[in-house]
Structure 1
Amino acid sequence: MPTFIIILSILFFFPTSFSQPSTSSDCNGVLITYSYQIGDRIRPFLDDSVNQPYKFVSNLTVQNNGPEELKDWRVFVGFNNGELLVSAKNAVLDDGEALPANVSGGVVFSGSPVSDLKSAIETAGDVDLMEVRVELVGTQFGGGRRGAPLLGNISLANDGFSCRNSTTQENETTVCCLPDPNAKTDVSRTVNYSPLQTGDLTIMYDVTMTYESNYWAQVTITNHNPFSRLENWNLSFDWMENEFINAMRGAYPKVVNTNDCLFGSQGEFYKEFDFSKALSCDKRPTIIDLPLSKANDTNLGLVPFCCRNGTILPPSMDLMKSKSSFQMQVYKMPPGLNRTQLSPPRNWKINSTIGAEYLCGHPIRVPPTLFPEATGLPVGTAAVATWQVVCNITKTEKKPKCCVSFSSFFNDSVIPCNTCACGCDNGKDICNANEQAILLPAQALLIPFENRTRLTEEFAALQRRKLPNPLPCADNCGVSINWHLLSDYRKGWTARITLFNWGETDIADWFAAVELKNAIPGFEKVYSMDGKVLNSTIFLQGFPGSNYLIAERNGSNPKKDPRVPGTQQSVISFTKKEPGIDVGRVDGFPTKVYFNGEECSIPVILPSDAERRAVVSAVFSGVLLILVIFIVMQ
């Protein structure tokens, strides 16, 4: 008896250490509570109360009062005030969309990092294991201090539960969902995908395998611009949730560095992880392509479209070489330790040693990519999740790397590349950077600029032209292109294009593009190159085996002969389909020329046909004079 009294005294004076449910509801299932806390008006301040933005703070509580554990909880919240959700603590959007996200119209939350809720029976009523509280912060429209904006409804989105009608009192909405083995949720798990976008270049971020703490992603860069090319591409992006790269195939970080993990939050969380084998813990890593020799490497290669030294050709040149791909294993950090919580990196940027500059947009969620089945079966395997980044060429002012000269059969003078077409170093060269380039004899195009002085002076003396002092500076371009009007007759005309490589390295897989707006309908044939028409442009490249533009080399006798550029040349024939086409004055010369995706500097004047017209006029006058004499004699 005394023992019994002592036990009662202990129980009376010392309350139990087990925490009790925070609600007095009689719900014996899953109790869901949405509690609106505050709504503060934020800028811009508007007179229109409907469109006035407010910051809102709310709590979503999910408590398992049922007899069994609730696995992988999912809750639907029927937002309907144009809400933009900025943060959600202890939960993620079930469709995997990254925050901030537009959740107006309703959204499904799933638990992260706690996705399962224990029952009171198996925890002796420990609320910390039975309940999860999600703190929500976002922006809404038309709500605020006058009271909580009404929700459409809230409900459990798991199968096997039947929810009563939700009730709202002041700032709080509650619903009780009871176990029902036959019940199926009417909340779909579909994702609202955006349609695929178009652009000059796209980047696909495909999650192919996912685990609780890490996932594998395949990144595919595709060039869609018919005249753009990338060499030695560099791809960079920002991790938003302290992720790090553990392994890669098909590409590699430009700098391998794991110090930020060892001495940061990653090292504290992954205490037993061997960071000496990881690749990059940089918040903004830069990725580079691997050389061709690694394409079949069992550790680093064997990824389709990988390992091409960073070369991505335009699709008009080679569709199979217009993309590059690599794979990487990404480790996540809390609270993102959930197989379904997947967030792509942001702030993407891609650049290369040649070609245009790109401006990339934000990643958007698109339908999962279908990959060919590894077994060879005629079926597709869908990615777990896919995001698309669209990049477009920016119009930036930068010096060209190539230039164009014009010449014609009816004029002995060549209009050379513009002075300082590809830049000038006035402190190095004694020349006039502001003087217009001097007309040249045709043979001067075949020798380097520094060896043209004598030919230039002799040609000027022959034509009785005075030369400026100092002479104009060179074009300083590594590649020059001569467009020569070869012939012009009644039914057609021909031109000859010659490419010169003045650089020290061979140029592989070169291509050029020539815009001829009015003459394109009459395009007939390219003879010594592979040529085709794309809109108003002729696309040119070398035939297989002739796609190298070799570097400048020594002459036959290096002691006295100038160096010789690498060249490629072809004649192009046209018919005169367009009425009124003026080949000699305008239409026979290109308005734009590109080499390897970069626009070349082009002369501002064209060869004069005054000499030809003078000859024609003299012939016509002579014929007319003979005709008059003949008539008089009659």
Structure 2
Amino acid sequence: MGILSSRSFSIYSFVFVFFFFCSTFTLSGAYDPLDPNGNITIKWDIINWTPDGYVAVVTLYNFQKFRHIPAPGWQLQWTWAKKEVIWTMMGGQATEQGDCSKFKGNIPHCCQKKPNIVDMLQELLTKSRLPTAVGVSVGQAGTSNKTVKVPKNFTLKAPGPGYTCGPGRTGRPSQFISADGRRATQALMTWNVTCTYSQFLSQKTPTCCVSLSSFYNDTIVSCPTCSCGCQNNASHPGSCVEPKNPYLASVVAPPVTNKYSILPPLVQCTSHMCPVRIHWHVKTNYKEYWRVKVTITNFNYRMNYSDWNMVVQHPNFDNLTELFSFNYQPLTPYSTINDTAMLWGLKFYNDLLMQAGPLGNVQSELLFRKDSPTFTFDKGWAFPRRIYFNGDNCVMPPPDTYPWLPNSSPRPNFSLLSTTLTLLSALAFLYTHA
């Protein structure tokens, strides 16, 4: 390629600055301001030596406030530092045994250099606060603190990608309390691995979007167009499905060769193309209270969201009075400021968000008490500042498109995002026709 002209350079510079600005101020990175210390910690506790290695308990602790591990559970992979093998496992299993031909008689559970371990504790898959543990007997590993080596290159899927794990580090030996609480034993050696989540690594496009409406304005603000991607059935047939498609059943449930594999979303054809949409409707205004209706709709034909959760940031959560058909827990990421709430379904009632279709939605109503110094319906105050679904940040509409009060000043009928995208398109057109 030749050297760019000054005009071409200016165009590229503008595009770069725009996308750098967007990427810098999105919340798709590993740092989450609502859960700044959230991580999954892996503890590798050696509890006994054997003739050719050791017995260890490998435990996963979820220290994230609102991101859980759904079915089919986690997958953990590492690379052995030497020529270790796994003789036996409890609570998990390696997906492949590998080449164990050199062993006679007693065959190891896994001989792979990079074993892939999957969760077998089905009852703990969605328990975000409970640790899950795997017992493993390791051979050809060394039989003392000086001869054993920590595994390398840890990779965690929970159940899909998104987590980045640091190196294993030697930590303070863990202690284990007996069932009667009267005796404490100690691990012979403990390694700690910390894994952090990035929404961008998990999926290149967002997974949810937010739409808005109110009783005081007829405007229904839809999810931004192409929030989670654009329809491309022309070039990629089957990327989305019309609800009345006669072939829907055949594309929804393709044959699964591996029960631990994660199928990509197959969504209903919409303008936003998101697997999940959350609609926030300002429903009623009372003298001392105001009411909101929240509806979560599943557009993904391949996913039932079990034990889902939603995190909402709004300044009036400090005055939440009553909640219908959802559970509620306040989160305080900013010390004593109570403006963030985690909502989730009631057990055996609406904790399962069914796949796309007539039953693919759950809803609830929230009743807030008015705080006279801060309450207003003006300038979009009644709408949420940020919404997460299952730990992923949802795409919000541009603020200047929110439903305004009828007596408010008229606003321009265009948004900053629309203007910027239009400008980028025009610049690209000028460049290609230069």
Same fold (TM over 0.5): yes
Letter in 1 for 2:195: C
Letter in 1 for 2:147: Q
| Separation in 2, partners of 1:411, 1:495 | 14
Q: Normalising by structure 2, what TM-score?
A: 0.69
**Matching residue of 1:514:** 312
Shift of 1:578: 6.7
* Selected match of 2:80 from 239, 253, 256: 239
- What does residue range 92-171 of structure 1 map to in structure 2 within 5 Å? none
528 and 377 in structure 1: CA distance in 2 versus 1, 3 angstrom threshold: closer
Letter in 2 for 1:387: W
Shift of 1:427: 4.4
Contact 1:212/1:338, CA 8 A, preserved across alignment: no
Structure 2 unaligned segments of length 5 or more: list them.
1-36, 245-268, 333-338, 410-434
Instruction: Describe the SS at the equivalent of 2:83.
Output: coil
**Matching residue of 1:372:** 177
Corresponding position: 1:550 with 2:354: yes
1:174-224 deviation digits (Å, cap 9, x = unpaired): xxxxxxxxxxxxxxxxxxxxxxxx651111101111123121111111111
Shift of 1:370: 1.8
Shift of 1:390: 1.4
Shift of 1:371: 1.9
* Selected match of 2:329 from 522, 528, 532: 532
Shift of 1:391: 1.6
Contact 2:126/2:307, CA 8 A, preserved across alignment: no
1:479-536 deviation digits (Å, cap 9, x = unpaired): 21111111345533221111112333432211111111x3233222322211121123
| Separation in 2, partners of 1:579, 1:542 | 32
Contact 1:500/1:565, CA 8 A, preserved across alignment: no
Instruction: Describe the SS at the equivalent of 1:405.
Output: strand
**Matching residue of 1:4:** none
**Matching residue of 1:611:** 406
338 and 382 in structure 1: CA distance in 2 versus 1, 3 angstrom threshold: closer
351 and 285 in structure 1: CA distance in 2 versus 1, 3 angstrom threshold: same
Letter in 1 for 2:213: S
Shift of 1:347: 1.8
| Separation in 1, partners of 2:171, 2:104 | 34
- What does residue range 467-616 of structure 1 map to in structure 2 within 5 Å? 474-489=271-286, 491-504=288-301, 505-516=303-314, 518-535=315-332, 536-546=339-349, 547-553=351-357, 564-577=358-371, 579-605=373-399, 606-611=401-406, 613=408
Corresponding position: 1:229 with 2:27: no
Identity of aligned residues (%): 27
**Matching residue of 1:178:** none
Contact 1:312/1:324, CA 8 A, preserved across alignment: no
1:446-470 deviation digits (Å, cap 9, x = unpaired): xx9768xxxxxxxxxxxxxxxxxxx
Corresponding position: 1:216 with 2:55: yes
Larger Rg: 1
449 and 493 in structure 1: CA distance in 2 versus 1, 3 angstrom threshold: farther
Contact 1:223/1:313, CA 8 A, preserved across alignment: no
Structure 1 unaligned segments of length 5 or more: list them.
1-197, 293-306, 431-447, 452-471, 554-563, 615-634
**Matching residue of 2:117:** 287
Measured on the aligned residues, the alpha-carbon RMSD in Å equals 3.0
| Separation in 1, partners of 2:277, 2:270 | 15
Instruction: Describe the SS at the equivalent of 1:227.
Output: coil
**Matching residue of 2:16:** none
491 and 414 in structure 1: CA distance in 2 versus 1, 3 angstrom threshold: same
477 and 373 in structure 1: CA distance in 2 versus 1, 3 angstrom threshold: same
Instruction: Describe the SS at the equivalent of 1:392.
Output: strand
Contact 1:549/1:567, CA 8 A, preserved across alignment: yes
Q: Normalising by structure 1, what TM-score?
A: 0.49
Shift of 1:343: 2.4
1:233-279 deviation digits (Å, cap 9, x = unpaired): 2111111011111111101112221x1x53xxxx4xxxx6435x312
291 and 363 in structure 1: CA distance in 2 versus 1, 3 angstrom threshold: closer
| Separation in 2, partners of 1:607, 1:596 | 24
**Matching residue of 1:406:** 212
| Separation in 2, partners of 1:565, 1:401 | 20
Contact 2:175/2:184, CA 8 A, preserved across alignment: yes
Shift of 1:289: 0.8
550 and 199 in structure 1: CA distance in 2 versus 1, 3 angstrom threshold: closer
* Selected match of 1:394 from 183, 193, 198: 198
1:414-447 deviation digits (Å, cap 9, x = unpaired): 11122222223424389xxxxxxxxxxxxxxxxx
| Separation in 1, partners of 2:242, 2:224 | 12
Instruction: Describe the SS at the equivalent of 1:482.
Output: strand
351 and 252 in structure 1: CA distance in 2 versus 1, 3 angstrom threshold: same
| Separation in 2, partners of 1:348, 1:540 | 32
Shift of 1:339: 7.0
417 and 199 in structure 1: CA distance in 2 versus 1, 3 angstrom threshold: closer
Letter in 2 for 1:582: T
**Matching residue of 1:60:** none
